């Protein structure tokens, strides 16, 4: 896949078929957000209990910054779960 394919995907916007389908089926979007949020919050809680977080390159983060990174993941995971529940309930 070349770079032109990504540019075409980025330019589709709100009227793309995928976005139209998700607007018609908000429960699917809610379930996707719940899965992402649960994974993010779960990894944040695991790393918070372990005391060692990892950055996107796999390096270990210890001490205060490790706790901050773990709490950051938990907060955004809970927020994603909240959004997912909202989309499932409100439609």
Whole-number pLDDT of residue 21: 84
Question: For 51-61, how does the pLDDT look when each residue is reduced to its tens digit (9 = 90+)?
Answer: 899 888 989 99
In this model, does residue 14 exceed pLDDT 80?
A: no
Q: How many CB atoms lie within 10 A of CB 73?
A: 21
Question: For 32-91, how does the pLDDT look when each residue is reduced to its tens digit (9 = 90+)?
Answer: 999 999 999 999 999 999 989 988 898 999 999 999 999 999 999 999 999 999 999 987
DSSP string, 37-64: HHHHHHHHHHHHHHTEEE-TTS-EEETH
Number of domains in the chain: 1
CB 74 within 8 A of CB 49: no
Inside any domain, residue 63:
yes
Structural domain boundaries, residue 57: 34-91
């Amino acid at each position: 896949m070349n770079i032109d394919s990504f540019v075409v995907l980025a330019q589709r916007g709100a009227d793309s078929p995928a976005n139209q389908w998700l607007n018609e089926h908000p429960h699917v979007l809610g379930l996707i957000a719940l899965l992402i949020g649960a994974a993010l919050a779960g990894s944040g809680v695991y790393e918070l209990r372990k005391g060692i977080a990892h950055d996107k390159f796999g390096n270990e983060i210890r001490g205060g910054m490790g706790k901050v990174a773990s709490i950051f993941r938990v907060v955004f995971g809970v927020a994603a779960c909240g959004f997912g529940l909202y989309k499932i309930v409100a439609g």
